[in-house]
Amino acid sequence: MQLTKHIEKGQLLYLSQSYDNQSSDAISISENEYYRWIAFDDVIQSVMHKRKPWQLTLPHQTAILLPLIFSQPENIIELGLGGGNIARYLSRLSQDINFTSVECNQTVIDSFKQYFNPEKAKVDIIHNRAEVWLTDKKLCGQITDNLDWLICDVYQQQLTDFKETIKLLEIFMSTLSSESCLSINLPDSSDQEVNLCLTVLQQLQTHHRIVYFHVPNYLNVVIHVLPEHWPIDYPNKKNKYSHLPKRIYSHALKFWRHFKEI
């Protein structure tokens, strides 16, 4: 499906008139008969299928969710709420999942609640910067202690500050235990930026393997830092250890064959 053809024309529902203290992006929300989407400075960030809000709509989202092949996570932290695609999908997938989303932009949070959560998916939303929240034990409490999966979909498109990149990745890795995993979406990053992330993560890891995916026909690169005991070379052909339904699991397995490891 060429999604861009379906969202070429839409009716404007909302346009931010003032900037959030944490961001200079202008935020707009539009919709047509089938889809609703949120854009930052006219760049579409997230798209929701109106009739099936839980449905994934962008290919990089499938790549982000590939760790579900190997585990049934109960405690998930997402950095960057956006339009809430991951939150809606995982909420629909299992009622046993505790999902926390950390979002620094209050306008994005308000937009999700009003426009992008029609089925009232259970999401614990925290208004804070990811690096601040993760490094303050009083703020994150026991949530990070029981972490199964950290998903980062808030990464800056231009990773030009070497020291800041290392600092952020150090925070991510320090949050992981040997049993938890990390997934990072890099949108429209240069080869140099991707290689920097992979190199730093490789140096920081102690009990994990690092794989990555180039999303076909898109500029996204998705990186996964996975527990070393996961059978990533020989995944189970049946969805015995996964929340994913059989058809989606089979599709994910086909996608998984294209992983690259450093």
pLDDT tens figures, 145-170: 999 999 998 655 445 577 888 899 99
Q: Where are the domains of the chain?
A: 52-261
The list of the chain residues with pLDDT below 50 reads 1, 157-158
| C-alpha span between 203 and 234 (Å, rounded) | 25
Alpha helical stretches, state H, 53-184: 59-64, 85-93, 106-115, 130-134, 137-140, 162-175
> Hey, what are 215's tokens?
């999303």
Neighbouring-strand partners of residue 132: none
Instruction: Report the chain's terminal Cα–Cα distance, integer Å.
Output: 32
Question: What's residue 163's pLDDT?
Answer: 83
Question: What's residue 157's pLDDT?
Answer: 45
| C-alpha span between 4 and 68 (Å, rounded) | 27
- Cβ proximity of 22 and 104 under 8 Å: yes
Closest CA to 57 of 68, 46, 69, 43: 46
User: Chain-centre distance of CA 61, in angstroms?
Assistant: 7
CB atoms within 10 A of CB 26: 15
Closest CA to 22 of 149, 123, 154: 154
DSSP, collapsed to helix, strand or coil, labels residue 181 as strand
Which amino acid, residue 167?
Answer: K
What is the layout of strands, in order, in the sheet containing 124-127?
124-127, 98-103, 75-79, 149-152, 181-186, 221-227, 208-214, 260-261
Query: What is the architecture, at CATH level 2, of domain 52-261?
Result: 3-Layer(aba) Sandwich (3.40)
